[in-house]
Amino acid sequence: MTGPTRSLRLRSVFAAMLVSCLLAACSNAPTNAVRWSVPAGERAPVAAQGLPSGLQIRVTGAPWINQTGFLYSLDYRAPGTFDNYAHNQWVDRPPVLVEDLMRRAYAAAQATPSGSASAGGGAAAQVAALSVRLVEFAQHYRSQNESEARVAAVVTVSEVNPGRVRSAMFQASASAPSADAAGGAEAMAQASDRLIEQIFAWAAAR
């Protein structure tokens, strides 16, 4: 083999090795996770207008929900089995997100004349604390192309004058516009708004 020919072949081999290394580096490079928020809805602030001023709101979550992973379940294949989306997360733990939604809706209601007026007296004014425990916050797939967001919570209301405690469980769902995390996040916002609407209406009732 002549010198120039050998040199040319070596250059080709090195070039191929370099391309392979670059491709391997790209395939192994970490992928930044998409972090989803839960925008506020329109239902919750309206339902919160019947609540009293000074209400304490606290939201906790079951252990499997108390993390930032975006849970989904392929119900059509393995009902009751959950997994986290790859490269998709919530910006914070679902209990924190729902508590923020509830506090913002409550504050918006209190800032309106109708909200402050309805909170001035009556049985609703006896409500002192609202405790919410999330037990579901996941996207469920009925098929490969159809899914819905489901949220559920056990709620406890503490009242004064006279003192009593009421408890109930609430569930809400919303169809996802697309069979992916983006559609699930949009549906989760709608389902959360519906859940909070139910909770506030129940807490304000006699």
Q: Are residues 98 and 160 in the same domain?
A: yes
Q: Are residues 66 and 7 in the same domain?
A: no
Taking alpha carbons only, the member of 129, 102, 131, 133 closest to residue 40 is: 102
**Sign (positive/negative) of CA torsion 90, 94, 100, 101?**
positive
Q: Are residues 1 and 84 in the same domain?
A: no
Q: How far apart are CA 75 and CA 82, in angstroms?
A: 9
- Angle 181-204/94-110 helices, nearest 10 degrees? 50
Predicted pLDDT at 159: 83
Q: Are residues 116 and 184 in the same domain?
A: yes
Kindly report the CATH number assigned to the domain that includes residue 57. 3.40.50.10610
Q: Are residues 89 and 57 in the same domain?
A: yes
What DSSP element (H or E) covers 135?
strand 127-141
Q: Are the C-beta atoms of 124 and 50 separated by less than 8 Å? A: yes
Tell me how far CA of residue 81 lies from CA of 17, 26, 75, 93, 150, in angstroms: 43, 32, 8, 20, 14
Predicted pLDDT at 23: 41
Residue that is written with structure tokens 């002192």 in the block: 128
Predicted pLDDT at 105: 96
Q: Are the C-beta atoms of 48 and 198 separated by less than 8 Å? A: no
| Region class of 69: left (phi > 0), else alpha (psi between -120 and 50), else beta | beta
Taking alpha carbons only, the member of 66, 73, 72 closest to residue 92 is: 66
Q: Are residues 80 and 95 in the same domain?
A: yes
Q: Are residues 18 and 52 in the same domain?
A: no
- Average pLDDT along the chain, 206 residues, taken 10 residues at a time: 52 47 44 90 94 93 96 95 96 98 95 62 65 98 97 93 87 97 98 98 87
Q: Are the C-beta atoms of 143 and 79 separated by less than 8 Å? A: no
Q: Are residues 145 and 96 in the same domain?
A: yes
Q: Are residues 8 and 72 in the same domain?
A: no
Q: How far apart are CA 102 and CA 44, in angstroms?
A: 7
Structural domains of the chain, count: 2
Tell me how far CA of residue 28 lies from CA of 10, 31, 67, 75, 84, in angstroms: 27, 9, 26, 31, 20
Q: Are residues 79 and 124 in the same domain?
A: yes
Q: Are residues 69 and 7 in the same domain?
A: no
Predicted pLDDT at 7: 53
Q: Are residues 74 and 134 in the same domain?
A: yes
Residue that is written with structure tokens 């516009």 in the block: 177
Task: Look up the domain containing 21 and give its range.
Answer: 1-30
The DSSP result for 8-72, as a single string, is: HHHHHHHHHHHHHHHHHHHHHSPPPPEEE-----SHHHHHGGGSPTT-EEEEEE-TTTSSSEEEE
